[in-house]
Amino acid sequence: MNIGYKMYEALGISREVYEYGETVAGNLAERFAGIDATAEYNQLKVLRGMQDHQVSEACLLGTTGYGYNDLGRDTLEQVYASVFHTEDALVRPQITCGTHALALALMSNLRPGDEILSPVGKPYDTLEEVIGIRPSRGSLAEYGVTYAQVDLLPDGGFDYENIRRAINGRTRLVTIQRSKGYQTRPTLSVARIGELIAFVKEIRPDVICMVDNCYGEFVEIQEPSDVGADMVVGSLIKNPGGGLAPIGGYIAGRRECVENAAYRLTSPGLGKEVGASLGALKDFYQGFFLAPTVTAGALKGAIFAANIYEGLGYDVVPDGRESRHDIIQAVTFGTPEGVVAFCQGIQAAAPVDSHVNPEPWDMPGYDAQVIMAAGAFVSGSSIELSADGPIKPPYAVYFQGGLTWEHAKFGILRSLQSLVDKGLLGAEDVVRASEKSKKSLS
């Protein structure tokens, strides 16, 4: 223990913060064992997908130019379809981010006169411009696609009565965001997503149910595609990339939906046949192979963060005891200074650009200044240790990632140290929280 503290001390962590962290981590041993069991199951699921589709050394080489007959690309998409239990998948470096993947899935499967319904409240900020909730050039609204929304009930439940009313003859696609985005609502479990999809399909079996799966992959042993989703969509610089994918996104689902997305990504008549993999395939494969255990480390970090900050009296979502369905942890500070101090602590814990001090800025796609901390090997990778939040009430920060549990743990302790160093929290507050945590451990 003393050897451990010497290293933490060398990295700027006070004894009070360190001892509080050790106590909280000790309380979580049983919880962490459950996460390891899920990771083991998902690791074997990915391994089986790779073996069943005979991934070979030739699959790792990639192509240039048009990318015709790209064995590795096509096999990788078969592996994704196998793991997600879908008919097909589109996994490409040409998909630049999660928002792009979602926009691609929407724009390829909707036509003028169709309507999108979000039965879980407003979508993530960057999708507002894709849909046209906030006017933007090239939005779906400009192409005659309309949007309807049903908010969650105050207790986080689905408003089934108003969802039924909202589904009409023009409803073509229901979009379900699994994670909370910049909100403090509960993340949706796979089971709850399945219940919602079943309700929608009972009313309109032909409606496409799309799930924004960002931050949720491999947190549970099932994915939304196992409970009726027609499409699951995500980013490779989040969970499924395992920290190695340098770019990319995926859409897995019904063959017709995936083919529509492929024709939109490339060109009518070309679809999945083109699109060179450009040397990224080894990282795509290896990242996907590592994703279950990397996700487990990030999930442990999120639970650790919830317990650390809840013990200090901050509002956290989810709380320290709730079941987990994504890797994001929201902490509400109530002041912009708290959000900034937290993010600056996360940045100081990074392996890359730890000397940089993040500040809020006018980031494209958002309606308020946003601060982002991510000293990552892959720029913007949020499966790596990262935190961000809009500078607007309730002044909540959203923490995620950590390629290892050990790094996620240090990042949270460094964020707490930042609050103490800036005078936003007293060392005596940390000591009191530590004593309280010790009592619960005994």
Quickly tell me which residue has 């981590």 as its tokens: 25
Query: Which phi-psi region, left, alpha or beta, contains residue 148 (left: φ > 0; alpha: ψ -120 to 50)?
Result: beta
Whether residue 135 is preceded by a cis peptide bond, meaning omega within 30 degrees of 0, is no
Q: Could you identify the residue written with the tokens 């724009």?
A: 107
Q: Is the model's pLDDT at 128 over the cut of 50?
A: yes
pLDDT, residue 438, reads 86
Segment 345-361 shows an average pLDDT of 96
- Which pLDDT band, with edges at 50, 70 and 90, does 440 fall under? confident
Structure tokens at 25: 């981590």
pLDDT in tens, 188-211: 999 999 999 999 999 999 999 999
Q: Tokens for 393, please give them.
A: 């009430």
Compute the CA torsion angle 66, 72, 73, 77 (nearest 10 deg): 160
What's the CA dihedral at 306, 312, 317, 320 to 10 degrees?
Answer: 40
Distance CA 271, CA 104 (A): 13
2-42+289-441: which CATH number, 3.90.1150.60, 3.40.50.300, 3.30.1300.30, 3.40.50.720?
3.90.1150.60
Q: What pLDDT digit, counting tens, does each position of 89-107 carry? A: 999 999 999 999 999 999 9
Do the beta carbons of residue 50 and residue 287 sit within 8 Å? Answer: no
Query: For the purposes of burial, counting CB atoms within 10 Å of the CB of 421, is it exposed (0-12), middle (13-18) or buried (19 or more)?
Result: middle
Task: Report the distance separating Cα 426 and Cα 202, nearest Å.
Answer: 55
Say if residues 310 and 322 touch (Cβ distance below 8 Å): no
pLDDT-derived band at 183 (thresholds 50, 70, 90) equals confident
* Separation between Cα atoms, residue 35 and residue 33, nearest integer Å: 5
Q: Averaged over 33-40, what is the pLDDT?
A: 98
Bridge-based pairing state of the strands 171-177 and 115-118 = parallel
| Same topology between domain 2-42+289-441 and domain 64-279 | no
What are the pLDDT digits (tens) for 263-274?
A: 999 999 999 999
**Residues 6 or more apart in contact with residue 428 via CB below 8 angstroms:** none
User: For the chain, which residues make up each domain, given as ranges?
Assistant: 2-42+289-441, 64-279
Are 329 and 42 contacting, i.e. CB atoms less than 8 angstroms apart? no
Asked if residues 66 and 276 have their Cβ atoms less than 8 Å apart, the reply is yes
Closest CA to 251 of 266, 277, 231, 237: 231
Which pLDDT value is given to residue 99? 96
Q: Is 212 helix (H, G, I), strand (E, B) or coil?
A: strand
Residue count of the chain, please give it. Answer: 442
At residue 226, does pLDDT exceed 90? yes
Taking the whole predicted model, whether its pTM rises above 0.85 is answered as: yes
Going by pLDDT thresholds of 50, 70 and 90, the confidence category of residue 1 is very low
431: its two tokens: 């000591």
274-313: pLDDT as tens digits: 999 999 999 999 999 999 999 999 999 999 999 999 999 9
**Are residues 220 and 189 in contact, defined by beta-carbon separation less than 8 angstroms?**
yes
Q: Which CATH architecture has domain 64-279?
A: 3-Layer(aba) Sandwich (3.40)
